Amino acid sequence: MEIKLAFFYILAAFTLWAAGVVVLGKNIVRAAVALIFAFCGVAGLYVLLDAEFLAAVQVLIYVGGITILLLFAIMLTSRIGATAARVVNDQVALSAIAGAGLLAGLCYATLQGIPALTGPPRLPETSPFLGRALLTTYALPFEVVSVLLLGGMVGAIVLARKE
Amino acid sequence: MNETHTPIPVGTTVVVERTDETMEEMYVNMGPQHPSTHGVLRLMLKLDGEYITDCVPYVGYLHRCHEKIGENRNYTQVIPYTDRLDYLASMSMNFGYVQAVERLMGLAVPPRAEYMRVILAELQRIASHLIWLGTFGLDLGNFTIFIYCFREREMVLDLFEAVSGQRLNYSFYRIGGMAMDFPDGWVENCRGFLEWFKPRLPEYDALMTDNILFRKRVEGVGILPTRTAVEYAASGPVLRGSGVAWDLRRNDPYSVYDRFEFDVPAYDSCDVWARYLVRRQEMAQSVRIVEQALAQLPAGEIQAKVPKTIKPPAGQVYARTESPRGELGFYLVSDGSPKPYRYKVRSPAFVNLSALPEMLKGCLVADCVAVLGSVDIVLGEVDR
Amino acid sequence: MMAFADLVQRLYALTTSWGIPYVVFALVVMTIQVGVVIAYIAVAAMFLIWWERKVSAHIQVRFGPMRVGGWHGWAQSIADGVKLLLKEDIIPAGADRVVFVLAPMVVFAASLAAYVTIPWGPGLIVRDLNIGILYMVSISSLAVVGIIMAGWSSNNKYSVLGAIRSAAQAVSYEVPMVVALLGPVMLAGTMSMGKLVEAQAQGSWLGILPGWFVFPQLLGFLIYFTCALAECNRLPFDIPEAESELVAGFHVEYSGMRFAIFFLAEYANMFVVSAIATTLFLGGWSGWWVRLPGLSPELSQGLFGLAWFQGKCYFLIFVMMWLRWTLARIRVDQLMDFSWKILLPLSFANLVITGWVLVAGRQARLVALGILLLLGLGFGLAVRGRGRAAAGVVRG
Amino acid sequence: MTAEEILGQIQQRFGDAISAAEVKGPEVRATVKPEVAWEACRFLRDAGFEYLNCLSGVDWTTHLEVVYDLSSLQHPLKAHLRVPVGREAPMIRTVTDIWSAANWHERECYDLFGVRFDGHPDHRRILLPEDWVGYPLRKDYADERMVPYTEYGLEEKLPRAEGEKPAVKAAPRPAPAKPAAPSPEAPKPS
């Protein structure tokens, strides 16, 4: 159990460090690379929670897909890599309040032990259960999310094809 | 350090210029140091996204004022310089030059010498097309065809070496004849090579012509319409690839070309594919010509009587021959002195290259390499 | 599981009796496992590099390396490795040093991590994860990150272009690849690499063919293999490093050991994709075996399994080399078209028909299998299609 | 159509502007004044000479000459048109609008002889660098970097042809003779 805990702290520290670079880094490409590491750290946390499927999907979708596209967009935008990104803007106070509120809420939830946040039952293999749950109990939310994604995709195409 | 970090192009410049709100035009330099420009050629490509809207070739990096040098040498001394024009087809360059001088002098060449010239020039055409095929394959990412072609070219070079002692710059043609006769057994060796070479052509087909990936890269790419090709005075495989079956060996016969039976392959799809097919078929036709010439090869003199110092009568001539790359013209003006008063080379690659912007317009950037490869330039000849 | 797991258990019992905590033991075992994997990758990659040179040479009617080491230049890769190790380590002046140094490590780590779930033989697997195949796919997608890092940090336009192309290619080809991999996963009902092989080891198709998934999933196999070529940046999909267009693409500025690591990772990656194809489609380590004299049946089967697995993997790698030295490179837009307009619909068709097979009755099953087989054969033939001159001939 | 017929038509059409004309084999040869050179070219193009083989310059020391070699892909005839232009500020109308092939040939002629082509779409040097001074193929061109050519053997004894001056003396000159014509401002590529 101690090993698990030690790994948790290592991973958490790594994730936080990477996330810090993402938020505070001045170079946008470096920030994007750090984002990849942050996602990997989160995937590691998933593994510690016995959610291997989620971890693999996290790496596949977020690292292999989304961040790559992000980097792609950065590189295609001419010379954006050269300009130092502004770390702080006018809404810093507002976002700080929002962040602090979220943190407080999470701390409260963790300490109070809200039932939904207690550990899931140990399963020998998570993916069949996940699949069944998505296609039975949570079929409607799942479809709603797909429609949302479809809408996002259509919107992106419309934006890209301006003429 | 990181604040100023940006991918600065190496050896290239990019100017982004906004012509209006929606369209961005970009200038991209290709070359002069680039693996696919076959020498030091620089292309300034004007891009609209992935498409080429215009192209400006910059030539002259190899310029050595060949024509000025020629005017300061006597007629015989010019021959080695012609080798260096199209260094992949030196025999053909020699041929064009000596033929022009002979026309100027009104000199008749012994038949055996004429046949030797034709044999060597056609072998040279095969070697030159082989190099083209190999490097074209290389441009499109097919490395194997390159090695195959060089294997056969090596054999042609061996034949040339046996004849002239040289492998690249032969200087073997003389005004009024040839430097030496074929050595003993050469004709048999040459026949052996042809027998060996003929079954190799289907091998190239298997690797290139019948390969669907290759065809997807070349079909419908780099269109040069027939009319434009004639306007630009394109010649050789570029003209024949634009649907004009025009070959000086057939249409304005020189030497003894009127004694052979051969086809002039031409294809009317006007694209890279057509130019590829023309060169591919021409190798087979050259084999036919060499075979007939070897069969008809007469015995006798190989050198006409020429004075020790060649002084053509005052006058001028524009003599053209069909080099592997197209119409090779020599414009000579003589004032009766031992040196050419004016010596001008109409190099086929130079003229064909001037039509390149027409072929590239509307092409994808990625096709640029294929189109440039299909023109088959040799910059020693373009830049002179 | 047997022999290897037994050994670990016994060792664990031994060490705990000495009073060594489990942590230390686990770390030692992990280190040994990683060491073995790295050693295998290094040796295999060196062999593959030598082999590729020999294969290409013999395809091109030449000999390739013949001198170093005596017999057919077998030591050529070692000599090259030593040379690359001893070379000066150059980091371009304008490069982003941290990212530049990190990039080869990311690429190599990605292909290294994928070796964890390769089933080498019966029970011979470092960790048989429940999500084995998903893990492999997701880990190998990390390599693109390293490529982008390398391309961007080199501060060279060709590198950036290569990296961008590489990213576009990887994102495009990952989709049909994963969908194609779902076919065998559905047939076996598991994502564990070990169980996938076991599902193929039993049973047979039509009584004569082995129970490999390549027969019902021919289309899936071809799609996967095509995508794997693209993932490995091999010809005809080597656009990220097309030397006639981009000189060498993303690793143009790398030299010495850093370049060697990219090189190593490329061949390690080739092995990984071949191992996935072998495991999912070609029955992994399953195959004919006999009891070797003086050995237990398990050990004999293990040895045969190891040989089968290696043999199938290297055969696929050979096919990849063969393709590389025969085909021309395709164009960027054709690459994208091929992925999104041909491979993706086909892989979805494969998925749907496979699902139909699994839930339908016997009659429909045969029909569906027939459709799948036809689609697979059609795909194979279409790629092979022979060309005829489209241009009209003008006779002079 | 025969060569004689074409020659007759040219002479009839341009009259005095033709200073010399002959038919040599399949080739029509004519010397035309620069004022009507473009019209003559246009006429020949319409007569079937749609193929511009070559456009060259010649320096006759007294004047320059632009030479057009034309042929046809339909009939075996050829045409050889010579247009003398003055040495000082030579100028002639471009034929790029008749044959696109003339584009690079004219640039080369300008580059090496200094003949300017009025109306040329891209009037720049082509083979030499854009900042080059002088026109190398003119007979009086001199450059200190040129390697003197020592002749040997028979050539020493031969009389030199009139008008052919040695381009360079045996010893390099202290300064190159700058040509009279100023280096024209070449339009910069956008």
If one counts the domains in chain A, the total is: 3
If one counts the domains in chain C, the total is: 1
Q: List the alpha helices (DSSP H) in chain B.
A: 66-71, 75-83, 90-105, 111-139, 143-164, 186-197, 200-204, 212-218, 226-231, 237-240, 248-251, 272-296, 348-354, 356-360, 368-375, 379-383
Q: Summarize pLDDT for D87-116 with one digit per residue, the tens.
A: 888 888 888 888 888 888 888 888 888 888
**A interface test, pick of C106, C134, C156, C336 with most A CB neighbours within 10 Å:** C134
User: Order of strands, edge to edge, in the sheet holding B315-323?
Assistant: B315-323, B326-334, B342-346
pLDDT over threshold 90, residue A148: yes
Residue B18 has phi, psi (to 5 degrees) of -95, 115
pLDDT class for D183, splitting at 50, 70, 90?
very low
The answer, yes or no, to whether B and A have at least 3 beta-carbon pairs within 8 Å is yes
pLDDT class for D173, splitting at 50, 70, 90?
very low
Average pLDDT over residues D22-51: 84
**D103 chain-B contacts, CB cut-off 8 A:** 354
pLDDT class for B143, splitting at 50, 70, 90?
confident
Q: Pick from C87, C78, C138: which is nearest to C113 by CA?
A: C138
pLDDT class for B27, splitting at 50, 70, 90?
confident
**With an 8 Å Cβ cutoff, is B53 touching chain D?**
no
Average pLDDT over residues B353-375: 86
Q: Summarize pLDDT for C10-28 with one digit per residue, the tens.
A: 777 777 777 777 777 777 8
In a domain, D153, yes or no: no
Kindly state the helix (H) or strand (E) to which residue A123 belongs, with its residue range.
none
Q: Which domains does chain B carry?
A: 66-363 (1.10.645.10)
Which residues numbered 304-363 in C keep a CB inside 8 Å of some CB on B? 325-334
**A52 chain-C contacts, CB cut-off 8 A:** 129-131, 135
Residues lower than pLDDT 70 in chain C: 1-5, 124, 126, 204-207, 240-248, 361-365, 379-396
∠ CA C182-C188-C194, nearest 5°, is 100
The minimal CB distance from A162 to the residues B5, B6, B22 is found for B22
pLDDT over threshold 90, residue A151: yes
State ipTM.
Answer: 0.72
Average pLDDT over residues B197-217: 84
Spatial neighbors of C120 by CB under 8 A, at least 6 apart, are C285, C305, C306, C309
If one counts the domains in chain D, the total is: 1
Question: Peptide bond before C236: cis, by omega within 30 degrees of 0?
Answer: yes
Q: Summarize pLDDT for D149-158 with one digit per residue, the tens.
A: 666 554 555 5
Range of the domain at C132: 87-292+301-383
B371, B63 Cβ separation under 8 angstroms: no
Q: Which chains sit next to C, with 3 or more Cβ pairs under 8 A?
A: A, B
Highest mean pLDDT among B288-292, B380-384, C4-8: B288-292
Token pair listed for B241: 């690839």
Q: Strand D27-32 to strand D78-85: parallel, antiparallel, or no bridges (unpaired)? A: parallel
Average pLDDT over residues B125-139: 90
Distance from D162 to chain B by nearest Cα, in Å? 9
Token pair listed for D103: 């584009």
- Average predicted confidence (pLDDT) for chain C: 79
**Chain A residues with CB-CB distance to C under 8 A?**
2-3, 27, 29-30, 33, 36, 40, 52-53, 56-57, 59-60, 63-65, 67-69, 71-72, 75-76, 81, 124-127
Query: What's the CA gap between C61 and B147, in Å, rounded?
Result: 8
**C328 chain-B contacts, CB cut-off 8 A:** 137, 140-142, 208, 211, 213-214, 217
Spatial neighbors of A114 by CB under 8 A, at least 6 apart, are none
Could you give the C-alpha distances from B93 to B83, B117, B259, B288, in angstroms and in order? 6, 11, 22, 21
Average pLDDT over residues B29-58: 78
Which residues numbered 293-322 in B keep a CB inside 8 Å of some CB on D? 308-309, 316, 318, 320
Residue D21 C-alpha from the chain's centroid:
18
Range of the domain at D89: 3-118
What is the reported pLDDT for A150?
Answer: 92
**With an 8 Å Cβ cutoff, is B6 touching chain A?**
yes
pLDDT class for A116, splitting at 50, 70, 90?
low
Q: Which chains sit next to B, with 3 or more Cβ pairs under 8 A?
A: A, C, D
Q: Pick from B194, B61, C396: which is nearest to D127 by CA?
A: B61
- β partners of residue D23: D28
In a domain, C188, yes or no: yes
**Chain A residues with CB-CB distance to B under 8 A?**
26-27, 30, 75, 78-79, 81-82, 84, 162-163
Query: What's the CA gap between B78 and A38, in Å, rounded?
Result: 71
Rounded (10°) angle between helices B143-164 and C22-59: 40
CATH of the domain at D99: 3.30.460.80
pLDDT class for A100, splitting at 50, 70, 90?
very high
Q: How many residues does chain B have?
A: 384
The percentage of residues in chain B with a pLDDT greater than 70, rounded to a whole number, is 92
The answer, yes or no, to whether A and C have at least 3 beta-carbon pairs within 8 Å is yes
Rg for chain D, CA atoms, rounded: 19
pLDDT class for A85, splitting at 50, 70, 90?
low
In a domain, D152, yes or no: no
Q: List the alpha helices (DSSP H) in chain D.
A: 3-14, 37-46, 102-113
pLDDT class for A114, splitting at 50, 70, 90?
low
* Residue carrying the six token digits 């050539």: D155
**B3 chain-A contacts, CB cut-off 8 A:** 26-27, 82, 84
Distance from the first to the final alpha carbon of chain D: 46
Token pair listed for A57: 């999907």
What is the reported pLDDT for B130?
Answer: 92
Query: What's the CA gap between D142 and D170, in Å, rounded?
Result: 12
pLDDT over threshold 80, residue B235: yes
Kindly state the helix (H) or strand (E) to which residue D18 belongs, with its residue range.
strand D18-24
Which residues numbered 10-69 in B keep a CB inside 8 Å of some CB on A? 16, 22
Residue C268 C-alpha from the chain's centroid:
8
- β partners of residue C199: none
Query: What's the CA gap between D28 and D80, in Å, rounded?
Result: 6
**A72 chain-C contacts, CB cut-off 8 A:** 148, 164, 167-168, 171
pLDDT over threshold 60, residue D10: yes
∠ CA B57-B124-B177, nearest 5°, is 115
**C interface test, pick of B26, B43, B211 with most C CB neighbours within 10 Å:** B211
Phi-psi region of B343 (alpha: psi -120 to 50; beta: other; left: phi over 0): beta
Kindly state the helix (H) or strand (E) to which residue B232 belongs, with its residue range.
none
Range of the domain at A159: 123-163
Spatial neighbors of C238 by CB under 8 A, at least 6 apart, are B141, C324, C329
Is residue A118 domain-shared with residue A128, that is, in the same domain?
no
Q: Pick from D60, D113, D153, D115: which is nearest to B341 by CA?
A: D60
In a domain, C43, yes or no: no
**With an 8 Å Cβ cutoff, is D186 touching chain B?**
no
Distance from A38 to chain B by nearest Cα, in Å? 21
Spatial neighbors of B295 by CB under 8 A, at least 6 apart, are none
Q: Hey, is D188 helix, strand or coil?
A: coil
The percentage of residues in chain D with a pLDDT greater than 70, rounded to a whole number, is 76
C258, C89 Cβ separation under 8 angstroms: yes
Kindly state the helix (H) or strand (E) to which residue A10 belongs, with its residue range.
helix A2-24
- Better-predicted residue by pLDDT, C122 or B42: B42
User: Contact B6/A26, CB-based, under 8 Å?
Assistant: no
User: Contact D100/B252, CB-based, under 8 Å?
Assistant: no
**With an 8 Å Cβ cutoff, is D164 touching chain B?**
yes
Is pTM, for the whole model, over 0.80?
no
**With an 8 Å Cβ cutoff, is C27 touching chain A?**
no
In a domain, D173, yes or no: no
Query: What's the CA gap between C208 and A138, in Å, rounded?
Result: 44
In a domain, D14, yes or no: yes
Q: Looking at this protein, which amino acid is placed at residue D1?
A: M
In a domain, D124, yes or no: no
**With an 8 Å Cβ cutoff, is B8 touching chain A?**
no
In a domain, C242, yes or no: yes
Q: How many residues does chain D have?
A: 190
Q: Summarize pLDDT for B66-124 with one digit per residue, the tens.
A: 888 888 888 888 888 888 888 888 899 999 999 999 888 888 889 889 899 999 999 99
Token pair listed for C48: 């593959």
**A67 chain-C contacts, CB cut-off 8 A:** 145
Q: Pick from C140, C91, C150: which is nearest to C115 by CA?
A: C140
Q: Summarize pLDDT for A3-53 with one digit per residue, the tens.
A: 778 888 888 999 999 888 888 877 777 888 888 888 888 888 888 877 778
Is residue A12 domain-shared with residue A42, that is, in the same domain?
yes
Residue B131 exposure: Cα atoms within 13 Å on the Cβ side: 20
Its sign, for the CA torsion B351, B357, B361, B363, is: positive
Query: What's the CA gap between C23 and C165, in Å, rounded?
Result: 44
Q: What is the DSSP string of A34-98?
A: HHHHHHHHHHHHHHHTT-HHHHHHIIIIIIIIIIHHHHHHHHHSTTTTTSPPPS--TTHHHHHHH
Q: Pick from B207, B77, D100: which is nearest to C387 by CA?
A: B207
User: Contact A26/B2, CB-based, under 8 Å?
Assistant: yes
The minimal CB distance from C156 to the residues B2, B7, B243 is found for B7
What is the reported pLDDT for C193?
Answer: 81
Phi-psi region of B334 (alpha: psi -120 to 50; beta: other; left: phi over 0): beta
pLDDT over threshold 80, residue B29: no
Q: Looking at this protein, which amino acid is placed at residue A22?
A: V
**B interface test, pick of C55, C99, C157 with most B CB neighbours within 10 Å:** C157
Spatial neighbors of C6 by CB under 8 A, at least 6 apart, are none
**B265 chain-C contacts, CB cut-off 8 A:** 393, 396
What is the reported pLDDT for D186?
Answer: 43
What is the reported pLDDT for D180?
Answer: 43
Kindly state the helix (H) or strand (E) to which residue A28 belongs, with its residue range.
helix A28-48
Distance from D10 to chain B by nearest Cα, in Å? 21
In a domain, D162, yes or no: no
Query: What's the CA gap between B89 and C321, in Å, rounded?
Result: 35
Spatial neighbors of A30 by CB under 8 A, at least 6 apart, are A21, B2, C96, C98, C99
Could you give the C-alpha distances from C310 to B246, C271, C274, in angstroms and in order? 58, 10, 10
User: Contact A27/B16, CB-based, under 8 Å?
Assistant: no
Token pair listed for C309: 């697995």
**With an 8 Å Cβ cutoff, is B3 touching chain A?**
yes
In a domain, C157, yes or no: yes
The minimal CB distance from C61 to the residues B2, B7, B151 is found for B151
The secondary structure of chain C, three-state, reads CHHHHHHHHHHHHHHHHHCCCHHHHHHHHHHHHHHHHHHHHHHHHHHHHHHHHHHHHHHCCCCCCCCCCCHHHCCHHHHHHHHHHHCCCCCCCCCCHHHHHHHHHHHHHHHHHHHHHCCCECCECCCCCCCHHHHHHHHHCHHHHHHHHHHHHCCCHHHHHHHHHHHHHHHHHHHHHHHHHHHHHHHHCCCCHHHHHHHHHCCEECCCEECCCCCCCHHHHHHHHHHHHHHCCCCCCCHHHCHHHHCCHHHCCCCHHHHHHHHHHHHHHHHHHHHHHHHHHCCCCCCCCCCCCCCCHHHHHHHHHHHHHHHHHHHHHHHHHHHHCCCCCCCHHHHHHHHHHHHHHHHHHHHHHHHHHHHCCHHHHHHHHHHHHHHHHHHHHHHHCCCCCCCCECCC
Q: Hey, is A27 helix, strand or coil?
A: coil
